[in-house]
Structure 1
């Protein structure tokens, strides 16, 4: 079984739970409110601020080059979106959230990256729905459109590396890290919900 398929199977429960927390039904029904969008933005910002750089730096040089890690940073796009939505980055930075303090192995970094890259893939559907919702007129949605026309290429190249660069003996590390990342995002989302809403 390809590692990508194993990840999808093993993390399905966590993925579905996170979708509930991240207002997927509201997005798909075009009923997402601006406040709910701000919660999404704040959650994604805090998660990327905490782990994005750590994950990318944990990849070995060859893998980082193969996946084009330098082209996959999303934090600056999220900061632009915070500004557009009138959210104070400084206030978000004060929120007390436990950050995963473990060092990522290269395999664990790929597991966490699978979750973040998967979210970016979902962004294509999300931005289309939001652009069709009057409340979001005038917002650039930088995070959800970050890869532009390269979205599918970037996803395929990432899973291509994922499926070929990781030895089977490390599969468990990758799966565990992906599961932990889903749980971490869910925890951040719940914390942000209690503060922003």
Structure 2
């Protein structure tokens, strides 16, 4: 159970504008208009997630906070979805990965990825209704964790509270989360007209 921890409120507050910008950049009405646009979106997301997850995977210390990093990978489901849609992952550009020098930096970046999984539940329903893709075929990314999404989010939030014990560790988390949102928004915006 999460005890206290102003870090959760601070992360939500300090990244709110970036989160809103990300939702605007996703432009789901446009990107779910047909299978080709959806595949292009998945390819763009893979290009962001794969290098970032590779960088995050090089950091030590997750286990001490109860986080099993491998089970939180989203790039694997993106690759699975792209394969189901007949797309080769090698045909999509990769975003330059940020430097991830510490566990605090990694957790701040993961905050963005883990939070996006919550919204994925809503998107998965849209994907199935509009395009017919399900978790079993073409929609695995947006259904990450399945019925465990709430428990996974709660466990991650608990890890953030456990980690953020000083003003310095709080600032690490917020700075990394903010930077990740900015990188994500720039990455989507840079090819908006192509998608």
Q: The TM-score by the shorter chain falls in which range? A: 0.7 to 0.9
Structure 1 unmatched ranges of 5 or more: none
Q: Which residue of 1 aligns with 2:44?
A: 43
In structure 2, what is the equivalent of residue 165 of structure 1?
A: 163
Secondary structure of 2:192's counterpart equals helix
Deviation digits for residues 28-78 of structure 1, max 9, x if unmatched?
xx9643343223212220111111122133241544x60221211122111
| Partner SS for 2:143 | coil
1:151 alignment counterpart: 149
State the match for 1:183 in structure 2: 182
**What root-mean-square deviation, in Å, do the aligned CA atoms of Structure 1 and Structure 2 show?**
2.2
Does residue 136 (structure 1) correspond to residue 118 (structure 2)? The answer is no
Aligned equivalents of 2:91 and 2:42: distance in 1? Answer: 13
State the secondary structure of the residue aligned to 1:103: coil
Where is the helix percentage greater, Structure 1 or Structure 2?
1
TM-score by length of 1: 0.85
Q: Give the CA deviation at 1:184.
A: 1.0
Gaps of at least 5 residues in structure 2 are none
Please say if residues 82 and 138 of structure 2, whose CA atoms lie closer than 8 Å, have aligned partners that are also in contact.
no
Number of residue-to-residue matches in the alignment = 188
State yes or no: 1:85 paired with 2:85. Answer: yes
Q: CA deviation at 1:86?
A: 2.7
**How far apart in 1 are the matches of 2:45 and 2:95?**
13
**1:173-195: CA deviation from partner (whole Å, max 9, x where unpaired):** 1101001111111122123434x
| 2:117 is the counterpart of 1:113 | no
Distance 1:167 1:123, change over 3 A: same
- Assess if the C-alpha contact under 8 Å between 2:25 and 2:185 holds in 1: yes
Change in Cα spacing, 1:166 to 1:150, as seen in structure 2 (3 Å) is same
1:137, 1:77 → 2: CA distance? 13
TM-score by length of 2: 0.86
Q: Quick check: 2:62–2:68 contact (8 Å CA) kept in 1?
A: no
Q: Which has the higher contact order (CA 8 A, sep 6+)?
A: 1
Structure 1 equivalent of residue 13 of structure 2: 9
Q: CA deviation at 1:110?
A: 0.4
1:33 counterpart residue number: 34
